[in-house]
Structure 1
Amino acid sequence: MRAVPAGARRQWASDRALRPPMRSPGRPEPSRAVQRDFWRRIASGVTTLEAAEAVGVSWPVGSRWFRHAGGMPPISLDEPTGRYLSFAEREEIALLRAQGVGVREVARRIGRDPGTISRELRRNAATRGGKPVYRALVAQWKAQQAAKRPKTAKLMSNGRLRKYVQDRLAGGVRRPDGTVVTGPEAPAWKGLNKPHRQDRRWATAWSPEQISHRLRVDFPDDEAMRISHEAIYQSLFIQGRGALKRELVACLRTGRALRVPRARSQNKPQGHVTADVVLSERPAEAADRAVPGHWEGDLIIGTGRSAIGTLVERSSRCTLLVHLPRLQGWGETPPVKNGPSLGGYGAIAMNTALTASMTKLPQQLRKTLTWDRGKELSGHAQFALDTGTKVFFADPHSPWQRPTNENTNGLLRQYFPKGTDLSRWSDEDLEAVALAVNNRPRKSLGWKTPAEVFAEQLSSLEQPGVATTD
């Protein structure tokens, strides 16, 4: 009798499972239930490390899941209907079979049809050892692999549509005569998330939503030239889709290489904002603008960690500009983790500059200060103690709660454009700009200037016999 090679016997066992040979998974990936739990935690706003630890996988695995999926859940987060065997049921089957329990008894104990158990043992058993051995982890992996229904991306199968999307997303900027403007020489794309203050290749840079809606205008009768903006984002963010190159994310307005879950972006630590300094605790008199002395503040940010502090009085719209020079050693010594901030608007430097500006005002005109949630004012308790000005913080992502300051910052951008180094302006320069802004007539003030209204407030405080409140 001819001897049969061991490899052939192993292949026969695979053939008897009625399934084509599968590549060895090594250590099979975690079940879909674990992956769903991971992506639910990501959607709740926790970090990748925290989500990985919570579901029992290593942080490199969790990081790889997040990076390869572009920050987008690659699977449905809906729970299975129960039609198919779960991982827990497969573990129960493996335990019972190891105890020698028959197929019908296994089916009776887990509440399934005997045919379901028979097919499961035949199809998803591990055959690497030469004979079928049922292991829950391998069975779950085989079931997940067989359940995949790979679908060719629309941009992959439709070359005309793909070319249209690429041309509108990454096409060159052209002059009126049609010649291409090369723009700056951009650094090589490294796949990092949202490059800051680097030259980027000039591109047409239509957004995916603009491309999606413009297709209906350019091709009203061609239904093949249709794609949703979400499908374009997925082709850009998810590795393995293959339709669009990942480098094209640099043509998006934000330049992000990963999609950031909304809950995560809103879940930034803000330990300096306690319950007694939120906006709802601010005195009601600050809202109606009738009583002077209530201020709104923020920073105008420039390049190279440069910034200018802005303070606006809500009643008179009077503006004060706070000079925030870089500290000694900036740009000379390498930054130290958790070390002092030398950029000019660290907590200590911010407190010193704000205190110097606010203490020039009478006590009656520095009642409260409303700031956004930036950490530059994390030392607000000491600032309130030094100036007598109570500090309150607006709600996250709510610029309308500081409308006067936001409007004034827009006016100031005429003098301090975005993307410029603001440290080049001296304290005298800022004083001159503040003088110009305060002497512009305002419609909200009956065409008076903020300087005139502020002078009236000061004169009313200096009149004898006029009662004031601290």
Structure 2
Amino acid sequence: MEFEIRKIRSPQGRRKLTREREEYFRLMDQGFSSMEACRIVGINYRTGKRWRNGSAPNKAKKKGAPPVRRPAVPPSGVSRYLREDERIHIADRVREKASIREIARELGRAPSTISREIRRNRHPTNGQYRPHAAQARADARRPRPKPSKIGQNPELRAYIQEHLHKRWSPEQIVQSLRRSFPERAEMHVCHETIYQALYVQGCGELRRELAKALRTGRAMRKPRRLAQQRQPRYSAPMVMISERPAEADDRAVPGHWEGDCIVGKNGSSAIGTLVERTTRYVMLVHLPIDRSAKRMRDALVEIMAILPAHLKRSLTWDQGSEMGRHHEFSVAADMPVYFCDPASPWQRGSNENTNGLLRQYFPKGTDLSVHTGDQLDAVAAELNSRPRKTLNWDTPAQRLSRLLAAALESEAS
């Protein structure tokens, strides 16, 4: 194309690039995306955005300039969407019994585009492909926004709202819908549809207060931030995660745990969290007074004492000060401790995910010392009874019970 690579790349000012502007709008009228049109013309995507929407000539002014009018150029060439003349050609060739690939080759389209066009826009009763009716159906489907499944189906909306109140994630709800209503397509949605119903202002499919039941509790999406730096290494020798047995990495062998703390208001209260890597089983450590190294050591020794030996293969922690007596814990619990690299929370991914789940029950900035050990056990039991995608929608409790049953059978034999 003539403007595929611009010959002159130097700045040309606000009123220059006339031919490039006309070519950009011609491509947009053909159905190209703005990003693709900018690439073909050879301009920055911000320039294309400014041409489409207009911009303020002076940043101090509050009102922007009116959008630039697109030139009335009839669409030609290959467009993102099929044109009516292409649909007429498809209809003629279908009547002549031409193959899908042959039609696609003649139009310069992908075979899947032709196949999908015929399948979606043919007559619903007799199956004939009529080009003008197909064009009308395509035009009717194109306008946005479209009515949502959730907004049109009260039964689906009630099911989603009920499970959001139970603190299920949208993806868990989606999989439960598919298992509960396998033959009813109107009850199947993707998890992004649920997020859109919650986040997009003015949709109204789901009540706005239900956003508080999501993991983050946010009513708007938020970009991820850089991780904060971890505490410095201890003076006592540490064994780093690079020396952890390889069997822990692929999660095939149970008994390898990840641990951390969630901290309460002003850092004065905390709850220890433990996650088994294979089953994602959660245990919570009660720390009613503080999270000093001594109290953490004693609490971990106590909670690990309830586990059988084959489920105490290793513990992976970050470099927080609460593990200052890790060597004493290793001796008392007969369980090696491995430490993550600084500022590397992804090395304990299961535990970080669990901490996010727990913030639904223990929000940031609250006093965690008011929760009793029984309350922590109840929260852990609720998490362990949730279906998990990574477990093929089994629950952590089910996976752990199978491991324990298998161990008992092997001992008996």
TM-score by length of 2: 0.45
Q: Quick check: which has more Rg, 1 or 2?
A: 1
Which is bigger in relative contact order (C-alpha 8 A, separation at least 6)?
Answer: 1
TM-score by length of 1: 0.40
Structure with greater helix share of residues = 2
